[in-house]
Amino acid sequence: MLRFLFAALPVLLASGCYTSFEIETDADTPVVPRDAGVTPVVDSGDTPVEPVDAGIDDPDPALCGTMVPPYDGPGCRDDTLDCLMSCDTDDCQSRCFDADPDCGSCLNLSIVHCGNREGCQPAWDEITCCADEASPACRAGIVSGDFEACVMECLEPFDLWGSCFERVGDACTMEAVGGCFR
């Protein structure tokens, strides 16, 4: 993970797509339209009752154009910094981050938030729109901050974001490291 974070920092960024299906019915079956947030209610008769909102959010909302908010989850553990300080290879650094996945998420999402705040949001929008059409692993990676799962599927948008990030990278990287390693 660290190897990805620091070696590919300019390319740092960015699962499945939503598909609508027709409802198959026969002439005797009432059809009640459904969406992700509505629970249909049908009485014991043949007449459908108006759908009632169940208050459930769409479990697979579109990512396209979403903003990355400031990271508010757990940061990096103290032993992760100790582990990283003892490393002299990329593989060692990757093992440190693999042992503390929250740390990688904190760093990645903090860096993206800062880069987007500094003008890279249009490039991030390209990544999120690509992720909407990509694999479920890519989509989940964008949401969780594990961008490595999505880079190969959305390489061009990541390159675009990386080019933008090169202008603001040092300040954002320092901000993310300062926020995640408290």
Neighbouring residues of 80: CB distance < 8 A, sequence distance ≥ 6: 96, 97, 99, 100, 103, 181
Mean pLDDT for the chain overall? 77
The whole-number pLDDT of residue 16 equals 31
Whole-angstrom Cα distance, residue 148 to residue 141? 7
Q: Is pLDDT at 77 greater than 90 in this prediction?
A: yes
Please report, rounded to a whole number, the percentage of residues in the chain having pLDDT higher than 90.
Answer: 56
Q: Which residue has the tokens 């740092």?
A: 12
Q: Is pLDDT at 11 greater than 90 in this prediction?
A: no
Q: Is pLDDT at 5 greater than 70 in this prediction?
A: no
Q: Is pLDDT at 174 greater than 60 in this prediction?
A: yes
Whole-angstrom Cα distance, residue 95 to residue 20? 41
pLDDT category at 175 given cuts 50, 70, 90 is: very high
The whole-number pLDDT of residue 48 equals 53
